[in-house]
Structure 1
């Protein structure tokens, strides 16, 4: 009688099971595709690390705590705006109104601070969120072009801000100390805007990567018609991303007003372009369907580090920073096109 324990997986008594087939060697095309994917999603972080290492070696004052703190604090407000822009661009849209919403949020927050901290936060969020919602309805429900709708928003919202501030002649001061403290030092040696930015970035990663809404955003940006055929709520998704962008722009403006203790009316000009640049540098494609929050945060810090390094030189003007940022953006877009073409070929 045959011992049952002698029967192997192959079914023959006493005969060992054949070893598993070795994994197929990775081809050159697969390696190139994997490298292209890595550079697409983490290229900004790699360049950021390189620039930080260069700045640390080249300038004694770069890696100091005070300087790094200044970079993070100055980048926090752009990061909040760029977070909302990330969702919009991944969905295949664009939002040119965020700069105007940013300055309007600051003015409304300073104006509302006379009634306390809740009013200082609720007023800009309500107004800017409503404007973002309206833009989303025009784009999602009526099918209007995002560029035209948000360009109208850029002009119209700044007009609202001028009306509220008497053509910019009135600068409202932040009168509530509790609200003003939101722009100042917080725990762990950081300011509250930086901590709020970190919390929002983590929430953005979870929302984009771990929820059905985030998957809908990717689907709409990748192929809107196919997403609709698969049952994705295209209209609702578009409305929500513009609502989110308006809320975050208003929040960033409110926090900046708390930091400055006033609603400055000359801010926000060109902020929408900086936000778009940070998102694109972070690996999000303007065509939609590809991108992420971590890349955007790396793009924001990269722009901040570039500006800081130029300031470290001392004899260069702000115009140089604009030229360098523009040239860097062009290089990133060209690299993205090459990487996308390489991945299609493989």
Structure 2
């Protein structure tokens, strides 16, 4: 086969061997937790449908041109992304035809399929799409290094040559969009980063300003609503009476995002068995393990400070939520392409601590729980 005479093929095979070795090394434990999968058994099991085919094709355009929704395709109205999918199919076909013309289609499609199928069937995050972009650039770079140019398929040359005037200029401009759009994404994200504090920076600054790290701070944990009827995860804002709740006390994303602004772990319930660690262990837990962790939290006593609303009465059944006062609402900005994930969190303190500090101001907010 001609492909094996290409030095880039052997380079990619070497990377594949390295990747397989890394996968073997980091293969998830039985209690691994990822978004949408609560253990390794769920992580390695999947169902195949047309939705996954759409996801696989759209990943290429996601790197350069379109903005897919944050959630998995099967969790919202698929019809709403038909325009993006049509664009993605067009880009996918054009890209493969160019690669085929330059005899690099297998160099691209084999690694891309490993990545795309894993993302579509098992796990993915918006942040991973940039890997596709970098890889495609690498492949085109290899073509240019070998041939000194990138040849276009005959049908593209004929189509472009048949155009005249403004229409031809418009088509050429559209062809440059995959290079222009990522620059615009970067410009917008840079503006948001400059204009607003990133993610939970303001929360960290508030904690430092009032030296709240000298007190017991409770961080919220992951709890997922599971329907009694369908056994599927749902929006946690549903009526509690209709759902069971599964707690994962090791999963504390908010604390993980705040701690880089501190030298030490300031949350007493974060990594309760390895308190010196300031990174999160992506570990699910059984009901018995969760109970054991909650018991350890309970031994520390009730918190003086609570970061955001959480089911505190699960840990302290006799606690009076009216004893906690909301003192800070932190607007959260997290840019991604042309979209900003706008959220807010609320910081609560006990009435005793509120009176002790003296300079805090009470704000209107929902009770802790």
TM-score norm. by structure 2 comes to: 0.23
TM-score norm. by structure 1 comes to: 0.24
Higher helix share: 1
Higher strand share: 2
